[in-house]
Amino acid sequence: MKALVYHGPGQKSWEEVPDPVIQKPTDIIVKIDTTTICGTDLHILKGDVPAVTEGRILGHEGVGTITEVGDAVTTLKVGDRVILSCVSACGRCDYCKQGVYSHCRADEGAPGIGWIFGHLIDGTQAEYVRVPFAETSVHKLPEGVSDAEGVLLSDILPTGHEIGVQYGRVKPGDVVAVIGAGPVGLAAMLTAGLYGPSRIIAIDLDANRVEEAKKFGATDGVVSSDADWKDQVIALTDGLGVDVAIEAVGIPQTFTMCLDIVRPAGTVANVGVHGTGVELPLDELWISNIAMTMGLVNTNTTDTLLKMVASKKLDATPFVSHTFPLDDIIEAYDVFSRAAETKALKVILTA
């Protein structure tokens, strides 16, 4: 088969590789019908995720058709169309029993990390993929949910919802600011609306993305290159700052921006993947009763979000800005990596 293979920081190629095979009775093989590129893939290519080794097939999102099932798989069959979760879960370890699938202890890739696709094992930017722990790591694609909608449920919708909105403790009446109007930031805005905030403020360097954010529930937008960006944000509150500041970029500057605008007793929810440390001025923060949260998505709300997408309570369609054939994945990476120029949001690849 062909797959997108990582060859060290800044190096990737679309090349022939061996087909995946069933390795364990709980595995399935899935023919990828639709996949996509994530901001995390760009972080990997920058060298921000050193656990990804040369030769790894990238990608952790996908919708596909089952072509083979392991002997222990009883609830899935050949021909089923499924959404692949970005976090794999054995369903049996202590963490999985608590719903903390992000730290599944099963011996697949590395015990203690549920994000294995395109990280610790071969991923979904390929014609076929082996899926471990299939019965607890995929979701059947319902009638009426498109591939493009389904692939968004692999990662960005649950990530924005769980790590941004739920960890951020968004509640009715809150003023929420999301720094970074990329796909995950937009997912946080879209799902924050489920909790009744009074304002959702989109903050980004890219004026186009700030404008696009209004399609995802943003009530206000601030371009962060403006010299008075902070004053603009504070003016949209009662003068004390936002209740919840969600970081959805993954660089020290944007984390610091969250600290600059959050009110006393507010919450900073870090969603971005960071490749370097950030300075944490505890000598100034301790007296402000600031809560900070962060984490790897558990995907324990995927079923709920899938029902909402299926019933049209959540409109995921505006995320998709570009569609490419899977064979054009190198071009798709180029378009996605130059989002400010190309106006790319989510780039979809179809077999």
66 and 146 both lie in a single domain:
yes
pLDDT digits (tens, 9 = 90+) for 213-252: 999 999 999 999 999 999 999 999 999 999 999 999 999 9
Q: Check: CB of residue 282 under 8 Å from CB of residue 154.
A: no
- End-of-domain residue from the set 250, 274, 294: 294
- CATH code: domain of residue 288: 3.40.50.720
Pairing verdict, β 242-247 and 220-223: unpaired
Average pLDDT in the 17-36 region?
Answer: 98
pLDDT digits (tens, 9 = 90+) for 302-334: 999 999 999 999 999 999 999 999 999 999 999
In the chain, the number of structural domains is 2
48 and 75 both lie in a single domain:
yes
Using the predicted structure, report yes or no on whether residue 163 has a pLDDT greater than 90.
yes
Q: Check: CB of residue 349 under 8 Å from CB of residue 324.
A: yes
What Å distances lie between residue 80 and 22, 40, 292, CA to CA? 17, 28, 41
9 and 145 both lie in a single domain:
yes
Report the pLDDT value the prediction gives residue 130, as an integer from 0 to 100: 98
Report the pLDDT value the prediction gives residue 230, as an integer from 0 to 100: 98
Residue 24 domain boundaries? 2-155+299-350
Report the pLDDT value the prediction gives residue 293, as an integer from 0 to 100: 98
Report the pLDDT value the prediction gives residue 107, as an integer from 0 to 100: 86
Report the pLDDT value the prediction gives residue 275, as an integer from 0 to 100: 87
168 and 37 both lie in a single domain:
no
Report the pLDDT value the prediction gives residue 103, as an integer from 0 to 100: 96
Average pLDDT in the 31-59 region?
Answer: 95
6 and 151 both lie in a single domain:
yes
- CATH code: domain of residue 322: 3.90.180.10
183 and 275 both lie in a single domain:
yes
184 and 245 both lie in a single domain:
yes
Report the pLDDT value the prediction gives residue 301, as an integer from 0 to 100: 97
Using the predicted structure, report yes or no on whether residue 109 has a pLDDT greater than 90.
no
Q: What percentage of the chain has pLDDT greater than the value 90? A: 97
Report the pLDDT value the prediction gives residue 215, as an integer from 0 to 100: 95
Q: What is the mean pLDDT of the chain?
A: 96
| Residues 136, 90: Cα–Cα separation, whole Å | 6
59 and 144 both lie in a single domain:
yes
Using the predicted structure, report yes or no on whether residue 282 has a pLDDT greater than 90.
yes
144 and 181 both lie in a single domain:
no
Instruction: Please report which confidence band the pLDDT of residue 258 belongs to, taking 50, 70 and 90 as the band edges.
Output: very high
Report the pLDDT value the prediction gives residue 177, as an integer from 0 to 100: 98
Using the predicted structure, report yes or no on whether residue 342 has a pLDDT greater than 90.
yes
262 and 215 both lie in a single domain:
yes
288 and 318 both lie in a single domain:
no
